[in-house]
């Protein structure tokens, strides 16, 4: 077997997720706190590969989940509690492999407890792993809806589907690389679960002690506000305005797009902020009509929203 260490995997992963090298449980791992962080690579001259992960979630709660697919086929999922997952290829030609962080719980202390996703390495029977051809790059900043929570039902981790939520499906439709910067329950005023702070603090950090070096996407899509609905407009407007200023400063060469939350929360305030910063606001009225819980799109709702998002982004990507 040929073993690829976390450090060897980092160059394959940095483009499609907020990944860093950390030491967890005395082991070096490829680490992220974001659902939907992916590794996308080509594997050639190998009959099999084994994905090795740490079972790193909060004890007593559902296991963290990962998803994988080969050659853009059907997604498969496995629990981190299994420790590893074996992928067998039908032949030894070159195959495109994608691995995605696909489920955790609100109890996982991702911000200060080192309970993010931890990939320990990949083993292959032979051959080598190669970088996948780069595609247009888009960052998606948001909350649990963007992260991919509660798509299949109401079971934490098990029913999360970042690989097939509205962002994942839109990326497939457009043939783009997407990076999620999104956390459950988070907003510009409300902190997220797992100890995650407000958006202004998580934008440039992967956790409390780990800074993230911003990437260089063609587009940055912001979908925040629904979790701030308990605050007044007088509180929300300046906080959102300040955050969008931070986004445009962090990504000075990227086109920034503001999505109105599917619930239409703070629609007018978001439009005003877009006008101030001379960025485009995307109207999401009617994008999603099918929900798991009245707030999070279910799989049917994710498909309809993905079609709308892909249509909204396609023209922007063509002009870049």
- Tens digit of each residue's pLDDT (9 = 90 or more) over 199-217: 999 999 999 999 999 999 9
154 class by beta-carbon count within 10 Å (0-12 exposed, 13-18 middle, 19+ buried)? exposed
- Tens digit of each residue's pLDDT (9 = 90 or more) over 79-109: 999 999 999 999 999 999 999 999 999 999 9
Distance between alpha carbon 97 and the CA centroid of its chain, in Å? 17
What pLDDT does 100 receive?
98
Count of domains forming the chain: 2
The pLDDT mean for the chain works out to 97
Of 97, 131, 165, the position where a domain reaches its end is: 131
Q: How far is CA 122 from CA 82, 126, 188, in A?
A: 15, 12, 37
Same domain for 106 and 40?
yes
Same domain for 113 and 151?
no
- Tens digit of each residue's pLDDT (9 = 90 or more) over 255-298: 999 999 999 999 999 999 999 999 999 999 999 999 999 999 99
What pLDDT does 319 receive?
84
Q: Cα dihedral sign for 141, 144, 147, 148?
A: negative
Q: Cα dihedral sign for 31, 212, 108, 226?
A: negative
What pLDDT does 36 receive?
98
Same domain for 123 and 215?
no
What is the distance between the alpha carbons of residues 178 and 16, in angstroms, rounded to a whole number?
Answer: 6
> Where are any strands of DSSP class E within 260-310?
280-282
What pLDDT does 138 receive?
98
Q: Which domain holds residue 13?
A: 2-131
Distance between alpha carbon 287 and the CA centroid of its chain, in Å? 20
> DSSP readout, 208-246?
TTEE------SEEEEE--GGGTTS-HHHHHHHHHHHHHH
What is the distance between the alpha carbons of residues 104 and 156, in angstroms, rounded to a whole number?
Answer: 7
Task: Indicate yes or no: pTM above 0.85.
Answer: yes
> DSSP readout, 73-141?
---EEEEGGG-EEEEE-SSSS-EEEEEEEEE--TTS-TTTS--SEEEEEEEESSSEEEEPPP--EEEEE
What six digits make up the tokens of 310? Answer: 């892909």
Average pLDDT over residues 152-161: 97
3-state secondary structure of 303: helix
- Tens digit of each residue's pLDDT (9 = 90 or more) over 22-81: 999 999 999 999 999 999 999 999 999 999 999 999 999 999 999 999 999 999 999 999
What six digits make up the tokens of 108? Answer: 């996982």
Neighbouring C-beta atoms of residue 285, cutoff 10 Å: 9
Place of tokens 């299949």: 152
Give the pairing type, strands 65-70 and 76-79. Answer: antiparallel
Neighbouring C-beta atoms of residue 290, cutoff 10 Å: 13
Same domain for 264 and 299?
yes
Q: What is the CATH number of the domain that holds 125?
A: 2.60.120.260
Same domain for 75 and 162?
no
Same domain for 78 and 197?
no
What is the distance between the alpha carbons of residues 255 and 134, in angstroms, rounded to a whole number?
Answer: 19
Pick the closest to residue 266 from 300, 250, 289, 243 (CA basis): 243
What pLDDT does 7 receive?
98
Of 131, 166, 196, the position where a domain reaches its end is: 131
Same domain for 149 and 197?
yes
Of 111, 131, 151, the position where a domain reaches its end is: 131
What pLDDT does 136 receive?
97
Average pLDDT over residues 308-315: 96
What six digits make up the tokens of 243? Answer: 């955050």
pLDDT band at 127 (very low <50, low <70, confident <90, very high): confident
Place of tokens 């590794």: 39
Same domain for 61 and 20?
yes
pLDDT band at 301 (very low <50, low <70, confident <90, very high): very high
């Amino acid at each position: 077997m040929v073993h690829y260490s976390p450090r060897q995997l980092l160059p394959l992963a940095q483009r499609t997720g907020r990944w860093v090298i950390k030491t967890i449980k005395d082991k070096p791992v490829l680490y992220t706190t974001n659902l939907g962080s992916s590794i996308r690579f080509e594997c050639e001259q190998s009959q099999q590969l084994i994905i090795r992960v740490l079972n790193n979630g909060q004890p007593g709660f559902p296991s963290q989940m990962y998803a994988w697919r080969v050659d853009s086929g059907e997604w498969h999922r496995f629990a981190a509690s299994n420790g590893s997952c074996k992928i067998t290829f039908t032949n030894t030609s070159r195959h495109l492999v994608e691995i995605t962080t696909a489920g955790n719980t609100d109890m996982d202390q991702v911000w200060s407890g080192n309970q993010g996703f931890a990939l320990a390495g990949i083993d292959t029977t032979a051959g080598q792993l190669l970088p996948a051809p780069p595609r247009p790059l888009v960052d998606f900043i948001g909350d649990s809806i963007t992260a991919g929570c509660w798509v299949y039902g109401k079971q934490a981790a098990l029913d999360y589907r970042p690989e097939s939520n509205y962002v994942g499906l839109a990326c497939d439709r457009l043939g783009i690389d997407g990076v999620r910067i999104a956390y459950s329950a988070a907003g510009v005023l409300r902190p997220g679960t797992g100890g995650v702070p407000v958006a202004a603090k998580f934008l440039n950090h992967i956790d409390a002690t780990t800074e993230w070096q911003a990437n260089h996407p063609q587009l940055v899509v912001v979908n925040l506000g629904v979790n701030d609905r308990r605050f007044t407009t007088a509180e929300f407007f300046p906080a959102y305005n300040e955050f969008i200023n931070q986004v445009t400063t962090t990504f000075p060469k990227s086109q920034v797009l503001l999505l109105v939350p599917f619930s239409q929360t703070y629609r007018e305030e978001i439009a005003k902020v877009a006008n101030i910063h001379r960025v485009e606001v995307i109207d999401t009225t009617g994008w999603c009509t099918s929900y798991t819980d009245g707030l999070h799109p279910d799989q049917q709702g994710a498909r309809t929203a993905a079609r709308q998002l892909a249509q909204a982004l396609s023209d922007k990507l063509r002009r870049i």
